[in-house]
């Protein structure tokens, strides 16, 4: 369903280059399919769309229905992979203005994804006078940012609902052990599972993402079905016929040609957060061992009036991957005005849908940027609905895994994320970090 269009690349990629790299792409793919590559303890996402826990899935839908029926607001507490996926899907399918639009589903606010006091205070104020539920998402329960926020929102719930608070707190956490799991069991909160074999950035189609997504009224069956169908499509072993292998190979080719930034472009305001999900997926998977394509994002045509100049004429360090939908969910028809009201000269655009203008902007931009020396890969998809988004998620997850293997890294670990935490804990005086603290304080002074 997801297609990679290489038509605009002839200026940058020679006729045989994809073929020349194909034995590598094939080997990377085989390693992923066979499960014998680096990080192969974390391949649970691979078969997830056809191999998920059906009982838990039914419980997720039931819990989402309860939240929809008894809550005006849902607070979702998590960071990194326990935050970005759900927010990306909700905004992509329900609008970046979701919390402001008229709707029958609860407002959803994400919190515990940082340590900004102003933001925490603001989100707290949103609970005021409203019925709410809380979904805490944390494998261990001890990650600082979500744990701080959960202390706050748990207290708010218990103050407001007393003994009934427990029916409004949902914990997505380790299946068997850990601080949050123990707490949830002893308090009687319903729990959902963060699987052991799926890393945070690959977890959006587990309960981690699905509970908030379902609470927003998204059809999660369609989301999973799209992912399952795309999974099937991408089993194709011919590296020149499989769209995800073509995409991964092109990324590798551009990286080796010196284009060190990949700019993921969409023409949809609602995909800004999908871009944030993509940045974690690829940045955390590839950015290691001194290597990696740096993932950046843009929304066109908005950012043609901000980053467009750089892409057109600036340093040649960027290749663009344009995620293009064939149609919007709801088009807008441009009426013709009487000639005397055509002072703005826009009648030449009228008597057609706005999506036609988008289409021409898309084509015109690709040609302009290509002429300017910036390669444009196009990934096309039918329309931004739940089924297609499920497919896109699977497509990018698999593209990321194959890309990591092509780059020669373990795409499933993230050792570098620990460094700041270790320093932060030491500076905050956490027990067990006394030696590091002394060293750091000497370094600071």
Tokens of 342: 């055509």
Catalytic residue list:
284, 305, 421
The minimum distance between CB 225 and a second copy, in angstroms, equals 22
Looking at the Cβ atoms of 41 and 47, the one nearer to a second copy is: 41
Looking at the Cβ atoms of 181 and 398, the one nearer to a second copy is: 181
The minimum distance between CB 30 and a second copy, in angstroms, equals 26
Query: With contact defined as beta carbons under 8 Å apart, do 75 and 131 qualify?
Result: no
The minimum distance between CB 347 and a second copy, in angstroms, equals 10
Q: What is the largest CA-CA distance in the chain?
A: 78
Looking at the Cβ atoms of 49 and 295, the one nearer to a second copy is: 295
H/E stretch holding 319: strand 318-325
Query: With contact defined as beta carbons under 8 Å apart, do 154 and 188 qualify?
Result: no
Only one residue has tokens 């609008």, namely: 95
Looking at the Cβ atoms of 48 and 120, the one nearer to a second copy is: 120
DSSP assignment of 23-67, as one string? HHHHHHHHHHHHT-STTGGG-HHHHGGGS--HHHHHHHHHHHHHH
Within 13 A of 344's CA, how many CA atoms are on the CB side?
A: 7
Question: Among 69, 196, 83, 194, which residue's Cα sits nearest to residue 149?
Answer: 83
The C-alpha angle 53, 59, 65, rounded to 5 degrees, equals: 140
The minimum distance between CB 355 and a second copy, in angstroms, equals 5
Question: Among 191, 204, 247, 175, which residue's Cα sits nearest to residue 48?
Answer: 204
- 68 φ, ψ to 5°? -60, -35
Cα 387 to Cα 274: distance, rounded to the nearest angstrom: 15
Q: What is the CA radius of gyration of the chain?
A: 23
The minimum distance between CB 437 and a second copy, in angstroms, equals 10
Looking at the Cβ atoms of 74 and 228, the one nearer to a second copy is: 74
Tokens of 434: 């006394």
Question: Among 1, 34, 4, which residue's Cα sits nearest to residue 321?
Answer: 4
The minimum distance between CB 28 and a second copy, in angstroms, equals 19
DSSP symbol at 74: E
């Amino acid at each position: 369903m997801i297609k990679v269009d290489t038509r605009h690349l002839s200026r940058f990629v020679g006729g045989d280059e994809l073929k020349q790299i194909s034995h590598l792409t094939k080997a990377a793919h085989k390693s992923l399919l066979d499960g014998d590559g680096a990080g192969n303890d974390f391949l649970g996402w691979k078969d997830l769309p056809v191999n998920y826990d059906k009982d838990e899935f039914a419980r997720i839908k039931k819990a989402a229905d309860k939240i929809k029926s008894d809550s005006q607001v849902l607070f979702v507490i998590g960071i990194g992979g326990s935050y970005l996926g759900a927010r990306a899907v909700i905004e992509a399918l329900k609008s970046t203005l979701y919390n402001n639009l008229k709707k029958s589903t609860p407002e959803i606010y994400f919190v515990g994804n940082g340590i900004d006091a102003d933001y925490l205070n603001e989100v707290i104020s949103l609970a005021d006078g409203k019925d709410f539920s809380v979904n805490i998402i944390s494998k261990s329960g001890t990650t600082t940012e979500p744990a701080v926020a959960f202390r706050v929102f748990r207290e708010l719930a218990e103050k407001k609902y007393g003994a009934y608070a427990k029916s409004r707190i949902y914990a997505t956490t380790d299946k068997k052990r850990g601080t949050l799991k123990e707490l949830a069991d002893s308090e009687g909160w319903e729990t959902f599972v963060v699987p052991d074999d799926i890393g945070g950035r690959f977890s959006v189609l587990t309960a981690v993402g699905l509970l908030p997504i379902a609470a927003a009224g998204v059809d999660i069956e369609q989301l999973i079905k799209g992912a399952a169908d795309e999974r099937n499509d991408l089993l194709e072993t011919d590296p020149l016929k499989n769209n995800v292998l073509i995409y991964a190979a092109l990324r590798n080719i551009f990286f080796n040609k010196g284009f060190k930034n990949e700019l993921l472009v969409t023409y949809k305001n609602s995909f800004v957060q999908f871009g944030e999900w993509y940045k974690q997926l690829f940045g955390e998977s590839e950015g290691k061992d001194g290597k990696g394509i740096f993932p950046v994002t843009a929304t066109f045509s908005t950012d043609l009036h901000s980053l467009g100049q750089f892409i057109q004429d600036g340093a040649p360090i960027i290749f663009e991957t344009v995620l293009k939908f064939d149609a919007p969910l709801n088009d807008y028809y441009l009426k013709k005005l009487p000639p005397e009201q055509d002072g703005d000269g826009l009648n030449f655009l009228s008597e057609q849908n706005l999506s036609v203008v988008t289409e021409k902007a898309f084509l015109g931009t690709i040609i302009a940027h290509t002429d300017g020396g910036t390669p444009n890969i196009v990934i096309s998809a039918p329309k931004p609905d739940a089924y297609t988004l499920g497919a896109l998620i699977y497509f990018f997850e698999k593209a990321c895994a194959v890309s990591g293997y092509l780059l020669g890294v373990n795409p499933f670990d993230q050792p570098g994320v620990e460094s700041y935490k270790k320093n932060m804990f030491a500076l905050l005086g956490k027990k067990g970090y006394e030696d590091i603290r002394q060293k750091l304080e000497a370094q600071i002074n």
